[in-house]
DNA sequence: GGGTTGACTGTTC
DNA sequence: CGAACAGCCAACC
């Protein structure tokens, strides 16, 4: 049951296992809109709950952290705090990117 | 390999 | 309802 696109994104993002990250495109595909990667980033940009939603766990498909409302450095710090090794603002997707099955389907 | 442009979707004013 | 914004992605030169 999908309330709204952003809510689904937030829900999926909350399903991301600790120590792992998901890409915008990955989340977009999970919500059923593989072309809505931009909308995903936009939903995070609105950040309805920056303290309850680990938006920093979402990175770009090429492994880059991308941007962050509070700053990329802040996001990198948060990722490292999760146990994710961040180098030059980038993470190893092959090591930290969670599987599509791990995200949890949104009803 | 690096940089720029275009294209698609969703929320918000 | 219409237009603008968003933290992107993919393709092209």
pLDDT at A86 over 90: yes
- Which helix (H) or strand (E) is A86 found in, with range? strand A86-87
pLDDT at A2 over 70: no
CA of A60: nucleotide with nearest C1': C8
CA of A15 to C1' of C6 (A): 23
Query: Which nucleotides of strand C lie under 7 Å from a protein CB?
Result: 5-10
Instruction: Give the per-residue pLDDT at A106.
Output: 61
Q: What is the pLDDT of residues A7-39, one digit of tens each?
A: 888 888 888 999 999 999 999 999 989 999 999
Instruction: Give the per-residue pLDDT at A8.
Output: 87
pTM for this predicted structure: 0.92
Q: Compute the distance between CA of residue A9 and CA of residue A53 in angstroms, rounded to an integer.
A: 10
Question: In DSSP terms, which residues pair with A21 in a beta bridge?
Answer: A97
């Amino acid at each position: 049951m999908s309330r709204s696109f952003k809510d689904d994104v937030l829900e999926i993002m909350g399903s991301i296992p600790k120590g792992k990250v998901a890409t915008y495109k990955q989340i977009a595909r999970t919500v059923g809109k593989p072309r809505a990667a931009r909308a995903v980033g936009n939903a995070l940009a609105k950040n309805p709950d920056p303290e309850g939603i680990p938006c920093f766990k979402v990175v770009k498909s090429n492994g880059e952290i991308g941007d962050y409302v509070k700053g990329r450095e802040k996001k990198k710090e948060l990722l490292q705090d999760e146990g994710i090794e961040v180098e030059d603002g980038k993470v190893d997707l092959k090591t930290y990117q969670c599987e599509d099955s791990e995200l949890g389907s949104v009803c």
